[in-house]
Amino acid sequence: MSLLTKAYWEGLKNKQRKLKEKIQKDHWRLHYHQMPATGWLNDPNGACQFKGTYHLYHQYVPENPEGGIPHWAHKTSKDMVHFTEEEIFLSPEHSYEKDGVYSGSAFVKDDEIHYFYTGNVKNSGGYDYIFNGREQNTVHAVSKDGFSLELQEVVIKHEDYPKEYTDHIRDPKIFAKNGLYYMVLGARRKDHYGELLLYRSKDLYTWEFHGILLEKKEDMGYMWECPDFFDLNGKSVVLFSPQGLNKKLHQFQNVYQTGFYIGETDWDKIEFQPEASFKELDYGFDFYAPQTFEDESGRRILWGWMGLGDTNAEYVNPTVNHGWQHALTLPRELTIEQGCLKQRPLPEYQMIRKEENRIEANISGEYRNVELTCEVSELLIYFDEVEDGFEIHLRQDTVIRYDKGILSITHGVSGAGRSFRTVKIDKLEQLHIFSDTSSLEIFINDGDYVMSSRVYPDKGKNQVRFRGHAQLRVNKWEIAKTVID
């Protein structure tokens, strides 16, 4: 028996209809990024390719752009570019998930998709919700088509987690090795350090605690959310979203972070050893809780939430007034090259390029306008030479500046509170910028670094200007809309 009644669903449909009317009129509605059909979106979930079709799910509060109790929305695609909005996939229908179908992942095996997610329960009363008052159950669901469920059951009950942890244990991600299945979970220890737990299974249906995949570290925060673990180009990668890191000069500038360790795994013991320090995945204002999957051609693809919770109103998203909030980044392909993680936009997105402009320019001096505009478009800029202090001004009041090995991004009023972020890059060779109605993603030096941010420029404020000294080659494409009204 579902906890959600017919009246609940009818009420929801009505609220969604009203929100949709507002969204359709919003010029900040994104043209080629995944956003919620209505209301609120956060983490990508359950991403997979099954029998040729890409399935993407995400945390979704259909009736409220300011958040609430999450469901899983569902989108499908044949090409990773054009997506169809499907019916809501999971909703808080059972007592073990009554306060939210939280984040989780998909594991394709033979003719089935196995989903694992966190059933969130928040009891009412005088609880602190860290040590008590909350349950986070690990739930298994099986589907033969990605749309309907054959089975849905709790496989790890909240009370069965090891005793060193608070109530915060969540976001399962599965991998298979040597005929066994493993599940990584993010956790907050009772002594307020983050840690990653490992469970093991012979059949995906029963699970036992196996140990710790990544131990607490002094300067790595109090909670690690949304873990991921995979092999890539002969190395292993552990990726997660830690909370509670201290800000450093050019690192960890947002309220919460996302990053990774590259290392080696002893697969007999399932022991991971990092080889390098923790690195951030994205240096912009809006990036969190990403998830990867391997597609049928063997590519490791990552989607991130182009947003962040708990920004303490330092910055906001004015689309809340238009019935929706947040979006996902473009999907990115990950590789490890010369020991470094590269992130590149999927080449599939070239199919929506329209008119092309090409410019070769020797920029020298003040504000050079180059007959370029940039709104729903893609800019690929190669720097044959660039001097310190070089600036690109784009959209309403965004400035990308290169100075002495630091790339910075500054927004004025169009940033809705977003001010200044930096990344240390040493030299500037290339920028690949994806601009949508209300977003900017900047891939730096062929995917060595990325900065993703939401921006809210007034309509028509879309000129591109250069300032400083540089020798440039620019390709710019208008991009076709992929969303259907």
When asked if residue 97 is in the footprint of ligand FRU (CB under 6 A), the reply is: no
Please indicate whether residue 43 is annotated as part of the active site: yes
When asked if residue 115 is in the footprint of ligand FRU (CB under 6 A), the reply is: no
Residues 3-62 touching ligand FRU, rule: CB under 6 A, are: 42-43, 59
Q: How far is CA 300 from CA 6, 33, 278, in A?
A: 40, 19, 20
CB of 39 to ligand FRU, least distance (A): 13
Q: How far is CA 115 from CA 79, 103, 104, in A?
A: 22, 10, 7
Distance CA 327, CA 337 (A): 29
When asked if residue 167 is in the footprint of ligand FRU (CB under 6 A), the reply is: no
From the list 57, 72, 83, 102, which residue makes contact with ligand FRU (rule: CB under 6 A)?
A: 102
Count of residues interacting with ligand FRU (CB under 6 A): 14
What phi and psi, each to the nearest 5 degrees, are found at residue 275? -110, -15
When asked if residue 103 is in the footprint of ligand FRU (CB under 6 A), the reply is: yes
> In this complex, which beta carbon is closest to ligand FRU, that of residue 62 or of residue 70?
70
Distance CA 343, CA 355 (A): 26
* Closest by CA position to 442, among listed 224, 235, 287: 287
Site string for ligand FRU, 288-327 (x = CB under 6 A): xx-------------------x------------------
When asked if residue 258 is in the footprint of ligand FRU (CB under 6 A), the reply is: no
Q: What token pair was written down for 249? A: 């000069």
Residue 52 backbone zone (phi > 0: left; psi -120 to 50: alpha; other: beta) = left
Site string for ligand FRU, 126-165 (x = CB under 6 A): ----------------------------------------
From the list 226, 302, 407, 470, which residue makes contact with ligand FRU (rule: CB under 6 A)?
A: 226
Catalytic residue among 26, 43, 191, 266: 43
Q: What token pair was written down for 218? A: 């002094």
Neighbour count for residue 87 (Cβ, 10 Å): 8
From the list 118, 317, 435, 437, which residue makes contact with ligand FRU (rule: CB under 6 A)?
A: 118
Pairing mode, strands 39-50 and 324-325: parallel
Q: What token pair was written down for 204? A: 């995906």
Q: Is 143 helix (H, G, I), strand (E, B) or coil?
A: strand
CB of 356 to ligand FRU, least distance (A): 38
Binding site for ligand FRU (CB under 6 A): 42-43, 59, 70, 102-103, 118, 170-171, 225-226, 288-289, 309
